[in-house]
Amino acid sequence: MKMKKMRNMMLSMTLIGSVFLSACSAGTEKVDQKTAKKNEKVSINYYTWETNDVIQKKIDNFEKANPNIDVNYEPLVTNNNSLEYYKKLDIKMGTGQPIDVVAFSHVDFLVERAARGVLAPVDDFLKADSINPDEEFYSVPKYENKTYGIQDTSQPWLVALNKKALDEAGLPVPTWGWTWDDFREYAKKLTKGKQYGAYFHTWGEYDNFVAYSELPHPYLTKDQKPVFNDPSFKNFFELRRNMEKDGSVKPFKDVIAAQLNYSTEFLNGEAAMLPTAAFFVSLIKDKQKFPHDFETVFAPLPQSSKDTKVGATNVGGHYLAIGESSKHKKESYKFALYMAQQTDVISDIPGSKNVDKNAVIDQMIGEDTNLVDKQSLVSSVFDNRSYVPYNTSYTTSYASQLKPVLENGFSKFMLDGISAEEAQKWMVEQGNDIISKSK
């Protein structure tokens, strides 16, 4: 009897031990699964229209620093055409397949997609990293009070000037506080022989720089109405027409007909001044494509009048957003933030304000110190007085449709000979039509 009880007791203990070992084994298996999942290599797709070695170098550096994340660099077009890229991007987004990181050339194109619900907000990720986006980035793409992207590069607008032409005309390098009237006077004095004093390109920014650098939004008011009746449009339109009459800029009709390249006009000595953005520095350095020997100096964008607060400017840029369908949002965010903060590979100014600005400019200029003046470039893009009135909260899902309204209104003014008031009336009507159809 005692032997039977002892045997039963030993059997029970064996069963208990088996259950315990089984439980331990299961627990260990769960831990191992979690560890394996944690260490699993994640692959994210990066969609853009750009194809260049600079992007690949940045990606390579990111993957070295983050060995658990692979970035598949996938340009959707082969001709660097961003508008064609957006068409293909929308088709891809419409298929429902996971979209990780997508590039945007302007905040308006990003906000349009945010409004459609195909992009994911990044506020929680930024908060977890203790990042205030308004303090970290030059421009923050927002829609309905949520942040939907990260500015990975910034492109401050400025004026490039031919230093040789300035010296011959006895003119100093302009500084903060000069006006568009001053710009016109400079252009008159810099016009010499076959050299025009300035060149204006065909992009919408050139139709009214004041709208881009001094208004909260170049097309819309805060209550979502067209801003085209703002006095700055009449003033700038007439400035452009008067500069043609002066003979200090190439006629708009000739620019359109010849499909001129803005960089060639300046770097070939056809024009002594060129309003442009900081990305132009890389073109100045391309001596093989643009052989020239004069030094380029820089000035801030002029302001509308002496009464304007000094420092107003326009900062464009490049943005990265995360698809709502992404299965790896955290890793995608990590990549986007890296691209904004990295300074190992510099082609444009990073989107983050908190980088070593001096080191950035040194890398941008490189060895071509005889072609690019560092001091005037630094003061034009990093002056403590500079500020950006542009407010991304003004933009809407249809804002990008309003830029052609400005461009077409300006063309009617310059080519058809109508008055500025007539052009403004037409633009407001066109803008209202787009807005009413979009609501």
Tell me, yes or no, whether 81 lies in a domain: yes
* Same structural domain, 113 and 209: no
* Same structural domain, 146 and 168: no
Q: What is the pLDDT of residue 39?
A: 65
Query: Whole-angstrom Cα distance, residue 427 to residue 405?
Result: 6
To the nearest 10 degrees (0 to 180), the angle between helices 107-115 and 82-94 is 20
Query: Whole-angstrom Cα distance, residue 334 to residue 322?
Result: 11
Query: Whole-angstrom Cα distance, residue 321 to residue 152?
Result: 10
Provide the 3-class DSSP secondary structure of residue 405. helix
Per-residue tokens: 91: 């088709």
pLDDT band at 347 (very low <50, low <70, confident <90, very high): confident
* Same structural domain, 180 and 272: yes
Residue 275 burial (CB count, 10 A) = 23
* Segment 277-281 mean pLDDT: 94
- The CATH number of the domain where 324 resides is what? 3.40.190.10
pLDDT beyond 50 at 249: yes
Q: 260, exposed or middle or buried, with CB in 10 Å at 0-12, 13-18, 19+?
A: middle
- Give the E-state strand segments of 237-371 in sequence order: 273-277, 296-300, 315-323, 349-350
How many domains in the chain? 2
Tell me, yes or no, whether 3 lies in a domain: no
Tell me, yes or no, whether 26 lies in a domain: no
Digit-coded pLDDT (tens) for 61-99: 999 999 999 999 999 999 889 989 999 999 999 998 899
* Same structural domain, 175 and 236: yes
Per-residue tokens: 53: 């070695």
* Same structural domain, 180 and 262: yes
The answer to which of 22-26, 343-347, 421-425 has the lowest mean pLDDT is 22-26
Provide the 3-class DSSP secondary structure of residue 213. helix
* Same structural domain, 172 and 57: no
* Same structural domain, 257 and 406: yes
Query: Whole-angstrom Cα distance, residue 77 to residue 88?
Result: 8
pLDDT beyond 70 at 201: yes
* Same structural domain, 173 and 263: yes
Provide the whole-model pTM.
0.86
143 bridge partner residues: 146
* Same structural domain, 394 and 292: yes
Q: Which of 340, 362, 329, 194 is nearest to 270 (CA)?
A: 194
* Domain extent for 347: 42-154+315-355
Tell me, yes or no, whether 8 lies in a domain: no
Q: 128, exposed or middle or buried, with CB in 10 Å at 0-12, 13-18, 19+?
A: exposed
Is the Cβ–Cβ distance between 333 and 122 less than 8 Å? yes
Q: Where are the alpha helices (DSSP H) in 247-388?
A: 252-258, 262-267, 280-284, 329-341, 357-365, 374-381
Tell me, yes or no, whether 35 lies in a domain: no
* Same structural domain, 180 and 221: yes
Tell me, yes or no, whether 186 lies in a domain: yes
* Segment 352-361 mean pLDDT: 93
* Same structural domain, 291 and 397: yes
Name which residue leads in pLDDT, 423 or 24.
423
pLDDT beyond 80 at 193: yes
pLDDT beyond 70 at 10: no
Q: What is the pLDDT of residue 392?
A: 86
Tell me, yes or no, whether 363 lies in a domain: no
C-alpha to C-alpha distances, 192 to 174, 181, 254, nearest whole angstrom:
19, 19, 18
Name which residue leads in pLDDT, 30 or 317.
317
Digit-coded pLDDT (tens) for 35-60: 335 568 999 999 999 998 999 999 99
Digit-coded pLDDT (tens) for 206-230: 999 999 999 999 999 999 999 999 9
* Same structural domain, 233 and 250: yes
C-alpha to C-alpha distances, 125 to 137, 145, 270, 432, nearest whole angstrom:
15, 15, 49, 37
Cα angle, residue 400 at apex, residues 399 and 403 outer, rounded to 5°: 100
pLDDT band at 254 (very low <50, low <70, confident <90, very high): very high
Domain boundary among the residues 300, 334, 355 is at 355
Digit-coded pLDDT (tens) for 130-155: 999 999 999 999 999 999 999 999 99
Tell me, yes or no, whether 134 lies in a domain: yes
* Segment 397-424 mean pLDDT: 96
